Chain A
Amino acid sequence: MSLLLIVALPFLGALLPGILNSAGRQACAGGTLAVTLTALIGLISNIPDLMAGEVITQRFEWLPALGLNVTLMLDPLGAFFAALILGIGTLIIIYGRYYLSRNDNMGEFFTYLLLFQGAMVGIVLSDNILLLLVFWELTSLSSFLLIGYWKHLPEGRQGARMALTVTGMGGLAMIGGMMILGQIAGSYDLSVILQNREAIQSSDLYVPALILILLGCFTKSAQFPFHFWLPHAMAAPTPVSAYLHSATMVKAGIFLMARMWPVLSGTPEWFYIVTTAGLITMVLGAVIALFKHDLKALLAFSTVSHLGLITMLLGTGTAFGVLTAVFHILNHATFKAALFMSAGIVDHEAHTRDIRRLGGLRHLMPITAAIATVAALSMAGIPLFNGFISKEMMLEETLETQLFGPHWLVPAIATFGALFSAAYSFRFIVHTFFGPKRDDYPGHPHDPNKGMWFSPALLVTLVVIIGVAPFLVEPLVKTVAGAVLGGVYAVPDYHLAIWHGFKPPLYMSMIAVAGGLILLAMHKGAQAAWDATPRPEAKTIFEGIIAFFAGLAEKITATLHDGAFTRYAAILSLTITALAGHAWMTGNSGGRVFEPQPMTEVALLGWVALVAATLFLVFKHRDRLVALILMGIIGTVVSVGFAYFSAPDLAMTQISVEVVTIILMLLALNFLPDVTPAESSAGHKLGNAVVAVLGGLGAAALTYHLLLGDFVQNSISEYHLANSYKGGGGTNVVNVILVDFRGFDTFGEIIVLGIAALVIYALTETLLNGPVRARLLNRVPDKPLAGDRHPTMMVVLTRIMMPVVLLVGVYIFLRGHNEPGGGFIAGLVVAIAVVMQYMASGFAWASDRQRYPYHGIIGAGVLAAGLTGIGAWFTGHEFLTSSFGYFRIPPMEKFELASAMGFDLGVFLAVVGAVMLSLESFSRLARRAHVPDSDYPMDIDPSREEETPNQEGAA
């Protein structure tokens, strides 16, 4: 079967349990099993080729530019691990079918399990280290889901997060390491990297790469000091523990060390880091395991210890070490998975895993007891079981290993570890199954149905077979070891056998077993001593660190982003000033071509007015009305400035914009208190002043600099001046720019105006439907209202002015193309004419007489402008292409018609609509329920006979 299919099968099959879930538990588990078995058979179908010495590869391009490709490779090492993963996976699925209760969502469980399985198979079959990283992190993620499967248990959630954090951290470090490795080797393909031993080991980046990759391996394989997550991952359902945390996932780190062994091992750095970590882990795990009362915790620490053993063997960097490591991986997978499953059975039947509440179970569940005993004896290293042989070999290897000084140190430590290993294995057997039967088990222990004990039974059969006849697996172990060695060393000529004669390893083994028995006998006292010793509790420390950082992050984030807009703006201003200042300082400020012009009296006057008004505003800004007036002054000075510099259009626009804005703001002031409360302290004010002055000085300096310089080439406005009449048909260049040269900008700007009005309207609607409505209705104005809401004088005057102003608007609009004016200004003027009616006679009266909704006017304006632009398409021209011609209709004089007028009409309408819609919205806010709308244009009308409308509004 194609390698891709083997990897993809579990992922594709992960859909199956979810679908089959509703078809019943049997179907769900059956489907999952079928998927795994198919993949396993697919793997086996490749064995003949493998036996012929071939390395099977398959390659698909994914992201070749990066070197990330789906490159798969099946060599003996990969096949060995893949077989472990799929084989034990099969057994776990059978076991899990009976382990999960009816309350558990089996579909979800098997989905996660298959995802995990696929990721694991992916790791061991990857030939591309980036692809391997993908699968690597996928195992972290899927194990996160599996550990947290029982979502209601806090231990499950915490354990899942801890596992994800620790292994995720390692994974990220490994990304760095792998990428460095790839950069050195020039390829991310393992087959290429493995050829580059010299280049890699002589590189300056070897050590960082090694450390980063080992971080990944150590976290995954729970090596000291990252061993602490594994026991907490035991909150997962037992099938998960048996699968992930004994047989497969924790071996991923080991696998990677084995995979990278040819290029990374053999250096002092490798030797010291890996061997030391392995040795410490082995002893530490074994010691802690002895004192754990939870069966799964005991097994978890024993797993940590055994992983340490394998790591140490890989660290030694010898061929024999590798051979032993491979053999022990096989043995550990068989007996540890069986042990976990037995522990799960005990938990399932006795309803507790606490070893202190167990004992005597061999009478009640003999099959389980037999299985567990065989597996545990193998773990203890008793002859005739497979654990014995690999442990012997391990001890032999330690005799050759010299670390930090005396040559007896490593063997002694290893024996010490083996002693504890024997002790906890004996304790597991004796304290659970032996002793008298008790009558206080939480459940009613009995042997489970055979579906549940089938899997561990099969595994312990293997334990015994390998233990008795190790030569059966010798070719396998040697082939795999050969693949690990990768040609750096030859596979040692060593025969796997039970009996190697009276040699030091045997004595060491005997010491370990005897010591283990003694330790078990003294367990009570030892346990008391252990409990009395203060030890750092990894979980507390870890959670403490995370909580600390989370708290710190929360504090930093909350402090920085507390919504203080002044600070946000100050940081913005300072950043701009600093970076622009830096650019200025590092540049050359010469090359100025103009002299400053002499100061004229008018200019000086304008300048003084501007500065004085601004300064005044700084100090008086809390009095809102005064502030508004001052802003009016500033606006007027700016308008005058435009006029002074020969820009009549701008001046007209500016002045009408000023009028409209001030009216809008006055309306808004209506809802605000007269005075802004003082909120800043003196220190704040000083700081803000510094920021503002810095920014202002910077802007002034830049302007001064720019005004004295000249364009690097002629500016585009010369073209506009030259062609506005010839090409745009207008003599008012500003207008031609607005409606023709850069009509598209104007199109955008009228839309901005229109949107603004729509937003104001939408905002008003929301406010009127919300709690603000009540506040508005109940507000007490700061000042008494004027008695006469609609004064006769004003009504009469505005009525008279209306047609005049409208005429002015039309005039300004029509002359716009050739003289100062245009749609924008005309729109503002007309809007002012209408606004006056609102002001004079009130909102209700005026809007009753307004036939066209302002929304529509805005829409029509944008449409008119747009359609004028689209019109050009029909003559085969670009959007907004103008055309114009001159016509004569007697008795009028010759006049010009330009398509740009249609556009300008759109501008006009949009401006009128936008201004009026905004005003209308503000007025709607101002309407008050207890002041009835007037039916009349003015309050006092001499011609009216009935009583004047009530004047409750007057205070």
Chain B
Amino acid sequence: MSHWIALPIVLPAMLAAFIVLVARFHLTIQRVFNLAGTTALVALAAGLAWNASDGTITLYQMGDWAAPFGIVLVGDRLSTMMVLLTAVLAMCVLLYAIGSGWDKRGQHFHALFQFQLMGIMGAFLTGDLFNLFVFFEVLLIASYGLMIHGGGTKRLKAGTQYVLYNLLGSTLFLFALGALYAETGTLNMADLANRVAAIQSEGSAGIRVAAVLLILVFAIKAAIAPIHFWLPSSYAEAPGPVAALFAIMTKVGAYAIIRTYTMVFPPELEITQGLFDTWLMPLGLIGLVVGMVGVLGAKQLDRLVAFSVIGSMGMLTTAVSLFTETGITAALYYVVHSTLATAALFLIVDQVREQRGEAGLALTATKPIQSAALLSGMFFVAAIAMAGLPPLSGFVGKLLILNATYSSELVVWAWAVILGTSLIAVVGFGRAGSTVFWKARQVADTEEPSEDVPEQPKAPVLPFVAIGMLIALIVAHTVLAGPINRYLAATSAQLFAPQPYISEVLETPGKDLSNAHDKDYGDKKDDAHGVADEKEGH
């Protein structure tokens, strides 16, 4: 029995609890443990992904209970890939947070960070919908804590909206779970797949509503328009490294949609025809427009990046909404790209904020900042990636998505919106970048040269290393697009042939109860069922 697959969840949980218990006053110890834990997670995730790369599906039955009665973790290509992506992202973000000193601007950063990782990892690995709800709660509350890390009136206000909106989402999740359970009597995803397929078209209304409610829950997490409103302020106001870590959070929603709507409600399922297959792509395209228009209209650099996240989630939704193998392959490629690019941008923007001082991130010209050449270069590269211009992964992803939508009925709309919004994004990023980085020179020229500027303290190196790592990953994602795409195509194929997954989950025996009678039951030898009934009767 190998426990590796449980470790990405158990390890951060234990580590965070340990930090809270013994190291809550010792920043250095927290840093060391957090770094060590995150490094271990990267190694662990790489191992899991390697293990799943040949198509192996790893099942882990919590408490040795067989599915669907207990909770299972399932590692397949998709879930391990997402775990690996999360771990790598976390590593970069953590280095940045330590390097920039963000982690000491409030309490419990490192514990919350590990709890956050636990929540995300759990959401990717679980094979049970209710357990997914639990992990959604974990990552929501941890992310709220991280979001308001460091305080400040605007941040707290944005945080309140963030947590309130997502609590509405959690409530909706409970509705959806209730409806699903009432219809099927189970919450294990593989079991749901079998049972939903058995539902007759007479009386399909209930399961149809359940399917829609569930996808809406995930759509809130994925910030799909028009239920994206929680995102702009919370991402803009969150501390830079936290916003960067949140790059993976919207992907949790996308992941859940991909997972659930290829297995439980697959596209060919009769009783859910005419639902998300009709309206999800238009919503994705609307999101793309809303996001990129926001990029053009943003007055702050951090809000600009936040809106570009909405745009990229719209793009991702468009690809996902095809529910075809090529569509999901393109979507998965874009997931990785978008995560890395978003994180890089947020970190870069945070450096700009650090260096511009009181001017903050308003899109107005100020005095030139320190390390402007390096920073503007990084911004340029990350903006290219985000706007989907060549030669970086955003462009490759865009081509993949354009190619995948070719078979859709809405292809003209999709292409027009994707290409049109790209232009808007280019203009938006171009205006912002030239104001922040170039116009600054003009301001400098018009100022009195005699004014002696005190030597600023040298900017720390570690944040730039972290950003550099993310950019290097974007480049690698571009250069290795061929092999990566092959892998993702295999991942996608695995999703559209879920039978091995379902069999693995449902046919693996759990705890052996046949010899349970050998134990000494004391006086209570009668049927457990009867006992329970009897007790309740009292």
Contact = CB atoms under 8 A, between A and B. Distances in A.
Contact of A557 (B145, B294, B481, B521): B294
Interface stretch (A362-370, A482-490, A874-882): A874-882
B141 A759 contact: yes
A800 B235 CA distance: 51
Contacts of A579: 212, 216, 275, 279
Shortest 7 CB-CB contacts between residues of A and residues of B = A591-B203, A725-B528, A715-B185, A859-B21, A766-B151, A553-B297, A711-B185
5 contacts: A571-B229, A583-B275, A587-B271, A856-B20, A886-B519
A770 B535 contact: no
A173 interface: yes
Nearest to B392: A134
B456 interface: no
Interface string A556-600: 111011010100110110011001101110111111100000000
B124 interface: no
Interface in A136-169: 136-138, 141, 144-145, 148, 151-154, 156-157, 160-161, 164-165, 168-169
Given A726-B513, A743-B63, A762-B108, A706 B179 contact: yes
A572 B168 contact: yes
Nearest to B155: A766
Contacts of B274: 586
A571 B206 contact: no
Contact of A172 (B233, B296, B422): B422
B419 A138 contact: no
A571 B441 contact: no
A741 interface: yes
A395 to B, nearest CB: 39
Interface of A: 61-66, 68, 108, 130, 133-138, 141, 144-145, 148, 151-154, 156-157, 160-161, 164-165, 168-169, 172-173, 175-176, 179, 183, 546, 549-550, 552-558, 560-561, 563, 565, 568-569, 571-572, 575-576, 579-580, 582-584, 586-592, 646, 648, 699, 702, 705-707, 709, 711-717, 719-727, 731-733, 740-745, 747-749, 751-752, 754-756, 758-759, 761-763, 765-767, 769-771, 818-819, 855-856, 858-863, 866-867, 869-870, 872-873, 876-882, 885-886, 894, 896
B298 interface: yes
B183 to A, nearest CB: 6
Most chain-B Cβ atoms within 10 A of its Cβ — which of A720, A754, A819, A867?
A: A754
Contact of B17 (A108, A169, A862): A862
Given A711-B183, A755-B115, 4 more contacts: A557-B297, A588-B204, A706-B182, A762-B107
A137 B198 contact: no
Given A584-B209, A715-B186, A866-B10, A723 B528 contact: yes
B297 A586 contact: no
A550 B298 CA distance: 9
Given A557-B293, A565-B161, A586-B208, A572 B227 contact: yes
Main DSSP-derived SS at the A contact region: helix
A755 B149 CA distance: 13
A184 to B, nearest CB: 11
Contacts of B209: 580, 583-584, 587, 702
B294 to A, nearest CB: 5
Is the contact region of chain B dominated by helix, strand, or loop, or is it mixed?
helix
Contact of B522 (A153, A709, A867, A886): A886
Nearest to A768: B151
B524 interface: yes
A555 B294 CA distance: 10
B524 A589 contact: no
Contacts of A151: 437-442
B383 to A, nearest CB: 10
A722 B535 CA distance: 14
Interface in B1-42: 1, 3, 6, 10, 13-14, 16-22, 24
Interface string B184-209: 11111001000110111111111111
Interface in B358-412: 373, 380, 384, 389-391, 395-396, 398-400, 402-403, 406
B434 A161 contact: yes
Contacts of B122: 748
Contact of A741 (B70, B202, B519, B532): B70
B431 A161 contact: yes
B389 A137 contact: yes
Contacts of A173: 419
A174 to B, nearest CB: 10
Contacts of B516: 726-727
Contact of B203 (A592, A755, A771, A819): A592
Contacts of A711: 182-185
A733 B532 contact: yes
Contacts of A749: 134, 137
A727 B511 contact: yes
B63 A881 contact: yes
B327 interface: no
Contacts of B207: 587
Interface string B473-486: 00000000110011
A179 B202 CA distance: 44
A572 B165 contact: yes
Contact of A870 (B10, B62, B151): B10
A714 B185 contact: yes
Contacts of B441: 151-152
Contact of B202 (A591, A755, A766): A591
Interface in B407-465: 415, 419-420, 422-424, 426-428, 430-431, 434, 437-442, 444-445
B118 interface: yes
B115 A751 contact: yes
Contacts of B18: 859, 863
A713 B198 CA distance: 9
Given A579-B216, A716-B185, A62 B434 contact: no
Nearest to A551: B297
B174 to A, nearest CB: 11
A722 B529 contact: yes
B452 to A, nearest CB: 21
B430 A165 contact: yes
Contact of A61 (B108, B157, B482): B482
B468 interface: no
Nearest to A648: B536
A563 B161 contact: yes
Interface in B291-329: 293-294, 296-299, 307, 329
Nearest to B11: A866
A34 to B, nearest CB: 24
B111 interface: yes
B69 A583 contact: no
B3 A879 contact: yes
B349 interface: no
A624 B526 CA distance: 53
Nearest to A723: B513
A731 B528 contact: yes
B472 interface: no
Given A175-B419, A575-B227, A731 B532 contact: yes
B203 A169 contact: no
Contacts of B263: none
B423 A588 contact: no
A152 B406 contact: no
Given A137-B389, A151-B438, A161-B434, A894 B522 contact: yes
B134 A175 contact: no
A592 B182 CA distance: 12
Contacts of B398: 175
A128 to B, nearest CB: 12
A279 B496 CA distance: 55
Nearest to B150: A766
B479 to A, nearest CB: 8
B138 A572 contact: no
A238 B311 CA distance: 38
Contacts of A880: 62-63
A770 B152 contact: yes
